[in-house]
Structure 1
């Protein structure tokens, strides 16, 4: 069991998208260098003052690469500590060599567990432990103080591991939401194909019956088969290229669409009023787009009910243009917490991306929460039969 855990840790990859340097790094570097100058110039009884100052500057500079090169920075920093300890052992100063600003090395410990791979964490931890052991042996500090120092050194690493676990867990939840959205799209694709193929079969059977007695009717039936086949291929080409069917059982009930929005906006009740506006040709939308519009409005209205404080109205606008469908949902409430989009909107954003559109959500300029989506309408053939509505 322990061997399997160690193997899993060793094979753990680095977290993706680690920033090289941000403005906070330069601000931190400036503050640390300023602290080194002040401490080296004003503090009395500094052992090996030039060496201590250069060593502190060295540790400050290493912090710039703590995310992109965590193992190398830890090795250089703690390797330098070992060399300094050996030099002090040979020269024999009575006090510890170094400045208090060298505490910046704790950032490297944090960066190792936050941004390093499993292999880097294991090797870097070994370097840190070896350095601490050497310092503990050479130092005459009481054991209780040494234990406290080890805990102080270990604490940034624990914080880094906790932050990494939280961020990784959140990303995993987002990925599960995106996967569920893909599965839902796959079910809707199943419904679309089943609907059109059923119509094709019926028309083909009618054409066989009428072929001998009414050739013109048979030709018309074949044209209907061609039309249904073209519509089916269009829907499949729009989604199959980006979907992977996980084998989940298909739900044969047709998904809700624009025609169901009237029923949806009557559901909230209470103090929340939903102002729904529909504009344009919305009866001939592709089924996947039709269902996506409903889902966007449903999720947005639900979020308003759950998270918007003092909201009294939600304004919903669905506008069909020649090539796109635009959805806008805005409320007049106040958001609690940090105003961050949740997992439901993450799934809708994934759905919009899969359909070739986009979705944006965030706080309004004055107040409230705004959701704006733009979806491709898709090609609509003249005379095509609209999708049956419930």
Structure 2
């Protein structure tokens, strides 16, 4: 068990999309360099002042690459600490060499487990422990102070590991939501295509019966249509059965769409009134887009019912244009700044992206929470029959 855990840690990759530098890095650099200047100017008992100043500036500069090169920065920083400690030992210096502002090295300790790979964390941790052990052995420091110093050095690393665990956990949950949304979309596409393929098979069978003693070519063509349609339906069922949870049936079900929105918003027990507005040609939407519109409205209205503060109404607008369908859901509650959108909206973003559209959600400029989506209408034939209203 322990060996497997160590192997997992050793092979753990770096977190993706580590930012090279942000404004906080330059602020940290400016503050730390300012601290070096002040301490070097005002402090009197500085051992090896020029060396201490250069060493502190060196540590401040290394913090700029702590995310993209965490192991290299830790090695350079604590390797310098080891060399400086050895030089101090050879020179028999009674006082430690360095400035208090050298504590900026703690940001490197934080960055190592936060942004490093498993291998970098192990190697960098070994360098840090080596430097600490050397300082503890060569310095005349009481055991209690050594324990306190070790905890002080270890704490940023624990915080970095905790932040990484929390962020990684959320990313995994988001990925699970995206996967479930892809599966749901695949089921809906399967049900729609399977319905049409079933119709093709039935028509092909009818055509073969009617052909009778007619030209053999027509009969062969109808047989080919029937065979190909049956094979497509069988393969489609097998593919989606593998995507679904075990035990879930593969029976075909009608997809909820725009035609079901009126029934969705009729909720006498809800605490909010839902104002539904439909505009444009919404009867000939592709089934996937039709189902996506319903899901967006459903999730957004549900979120408003649960989280809108002091809201009395939710305005739902679905507008079909020539090439796109726009969905807008807004409540009139207070701006809560709810921060990150939930996993439900993350799934809807994934669905919209799969269909070639986009979805945005956040606090409104003046009040409430707004969800805006734009989906491509898709190609519809001029002779397409509108979907029946359920």
- Contact 1:71-1:112 within 8 A present in 2 as well: yes
Query: C-alpha distance in 2, partners of 1:273/1:319?
Result: 20
User: RMSD across aligned C-alpha pairs, in angstroms?
Assistant: 2.5
Query: C-alpha distance in 2, partners of 1:386/1:278?
Result: 16
Q: Which residue of 1 aligns with 2:317?
A: 317
Q: CA deviation at 1:190?
A: 1.4
Query: C-alpha distance in 2, partners of 1:58/1:338?
Result: 41
Counterparts of 1:31-50 in structure 2 under 5 Å? 31-50=31-50
Residues 210-243 of structure 1: per-residue CA shift (max 9 Å, x gap) = 335999xx99xx8xx99xx9xx99xx9xxx9xx9
Q: How many residues align?
A: 374
Structure 2 gap ranges (5+): none
Q: CA deviation at 1:56?
A: 0.4
Q: CA deviation at 1:268?
A: 5.9
Query: C-alpha distance in 1, partners of 2:138/2:34?
Result: 31
Q: Give me the TM-score of the superposition, normalised by structure 1.
A: 0.91
Counterparts of 1:1-390 in structure 2 under 5 Å? 1-212=1-212, 246-248=243-245, 249=248, 250=250, 252-267=252-267, 269-334=269-334, 336=336, 338-390=338-390
Which of 120-129 and 203-212 deviates more? 203-212
| 3-state SS of paired residue (2:148) | helix
Change (3 A) 1:139 1:252: same
Q: Give me the TM-score of the superposition, normalised by structure 2.
A: 0.91
Query: C-alpha distance in 2, partners of 1:120/1:298?
Result: 46
Change (3 A) 1:39 1:313: same
Query: C-alpha distance in 2, partners of 1:304/1:74?
Result: 48
Residues 125-179 of structure 1: per-residue CA shift (max 9 Å, x gap) = 0000111111110011100100000000000000000000000000000000000
Q: CA deviation at 1:194?
A: 1.6
Q: CA deviation at 1:115?
A: 0.1
Residues 8-67 of structure 1: per-residue CA shift (max 9 Å, x gap) = 000000000000001110011000000000000001111111111110000000000000
Which of 27-36 and 371-380 deviates more? 371-380
Structure 1 gap ranges (5+): none
- Contact 1:182-1:244 within 8 A present in 2 as well: no
Query: C-alpha distance in 2, partners of 1:66/1:343?
Result: 31
| 3-state SS of paired residue (2:282) | coil
Change (3 A) 1:64 1:138: same
**Structure 1 consecutive aligned stretches of length 4 or more whose deviation exceeds 4 Å:** 212-215
Query: C-alpha distance in 2, partners of 1:102/1:353?
Result: 47
